[in-house]
Amino acid sequence: MRKGMRLWPIGFLLVCLSLVLFGCGTGGSEEAGKKEEGSASEGAGDKKKFIVGTDATYAPMEYMDSSGNIIGIDIDVVKAVAEEVGAEVEFKNIGWEPLFPAVKNGEVDFAVSSITMTEERKKEFDFTDPYYIANQVILIPEDSDISKLEDLKDKKASVQINTTGHEVLKELMGNTSANIIAAETMPLAIEEMLNGNADAAVGDNSVVNEYLKNNPDKKLKVIEDESFEKEYYGLMVKKGNQELRDLLNEGIKKIKENGKLKEITGYDVE
Ligand code: ARG
């Protein structure tokens, strides 16, 4: 009797513990299941919610304001698209390189990050219709004698790693050239040029021109090269996520038609 009395609280504890664990277990898998199947489409209540990844180091396209909010042209495009299809959006600042695996493994529903739709990337991801047109440019000191891409051949050039600008430099200088300085972000790539580690920085026109405009004291100039091709930005979804891609395309189509896209980016994209 006395022995039984002493064991009773332990037995009770074990029952409680297993209930808690069991409860957590089912709760957890239910959560995971919901995220898996609903992905972009299930949010609080009936409203869809998009979890959108970005690299917010790319003003004026995607960047942080002084209070840490993710803002920019790309961000406004996604907000407008979401509004058209009745979805909420939450942005996550993932960074450039981690953004690609984040879309693959479902950590985010899709990515917006001035992502150029390249044949290479299309093998691994699906993209929406284009919403923005860009091209590479070269940022150099005002007194530089560089006047075209070819001039960079025996010089040092900085660029954001694994961007289309990086591809351009690899093609010119060779894949493993030590003259390419591949930085983690575009601001860091520009920094490399400012502190003399590189003779030029290569990047998307929107971002480089914005930098030039905001930093007249740095005495820089921008040049273009006729070999730079037009690049089209798209929203990047997991390969095969046709449902989400269709939904986003529906939104993009609407903001093209009602003029909102032009309001945000300043021009029409076909
Ligand atoms: N358009 C270029 C590319 O797709 C650069 C994009 C970089 N975007 C960014 N948010 N860092 O490769």
| pLDDT attached to residue 35 | 42
Give me the number of domains the chain comprises: 2
Note the pTM of the prediction, 2 decimals: 0.84
Q: Is the CB of 136 under 6 A from ligand 1?
A: no
| pLDDT attached to residue 45 | 61
Edge-to-edge order in the sheet of strand 220-223 = 180-183, 157-160, 200-204, 136-141, 220-223
Q: Residue 70 belongs to a domain with what CATH number?
A: 3.40.190.10
| pLDDT attached to residue 27 | 37
Nearest atom within ligand 1 for CA of residue 203: 5
Tell me, yes or no, whether 93 lies in a domain: yes
Check whether residue 208 and residue 153 sit in a common domain.
yes
CA 9 to ligand 1 centroid distance, Å: 61
Tell me, yes or no, whether 184 lies in a domain: yes
Q: How far is CA 202 from the centre of its chain?
A: 18
Tell me, yes or no, whether 246 lies in a domain: yes
Which string of DSSP letters, residue by residue, matches 193-256?
Answer: HHTTS-SEEEEEHHHHHHHHHH-GGG-EEEE--TTPPPEEE--EEETT-HHHHHHHHHHHHHHH
Check whether residue 149 and residue 204 sit in a common domain.
yes
Nearest atom within ligand 1 for CA of residue 58: 10
Check whether residue 195 and residue 216 sit in a common domain.
yes
Check whether residue 114 and residue 240 sit in a common domain.
yes
CA separation, residue 125 to residues 55, 95, 111, 115 (Å): 17, 17, 11, 11
Question: Domain range spanning residue 253?
Answer: 48-133+232-265
| pLDDT attached to residue 233 | 98
Q: Is the CB of 96 under 6 A from ligand 1?
A: yes
Distance CA 158, CA 186 (A): 9
Sign, CA torsion 263/267/211/174: positive
How many CB atoms neighbour CB 175 within 10 A? 9
What does each of the 270 residues of the chain score in pLDDT, given as a tens digit?
A: 454 455 555 444 444 344 444 443 333 333 443 444 445 555 456 689 999 999 999 999 999 999 999 999 999 999 999 999 999 999 999 999 999 999 999 999 999 999 999 999 999 999 999 999 999 999 999 999 999 999 999 999 999 999 999 999 999 999 999 999 999 999 999 999 999 999 999 999 999 999 999 999 999 999 999 999 999 999 999 999 999 999 999 999 999 999 999 999 998 887
CA 186 to ligand 1 centroid distance, Å: 9
Check whether residue 145 and residue 112 sit in a common domain.
no
Distance CA 122, CA 209 (A): 28
Check whether residue 120 and residue 167 sit in a common domain.
no
Q: Is the CB of 204 under 6 A from ligand 1?
A: yes
How many CB atoms neighbour CB 185 within 10 A? 16
Check whether residue 157 and residue 98 sit in a common domain.
no
Tell which one of 52, 160, 170, 235 to mutate to probe ligand 1, the residue whose CB is within 8 A of the most ligand atoms.
160
Tell me, yes or no, whether 245 lies in a domain: yes
Tell me, yes or no, whether 11 lies in a domain: no
Of all protein residues, the one whose alpha carbon is nearest to atom 12 of ligand 1 is: 163
Check whether residue 204 and residue 255 sit in a common domain.
no
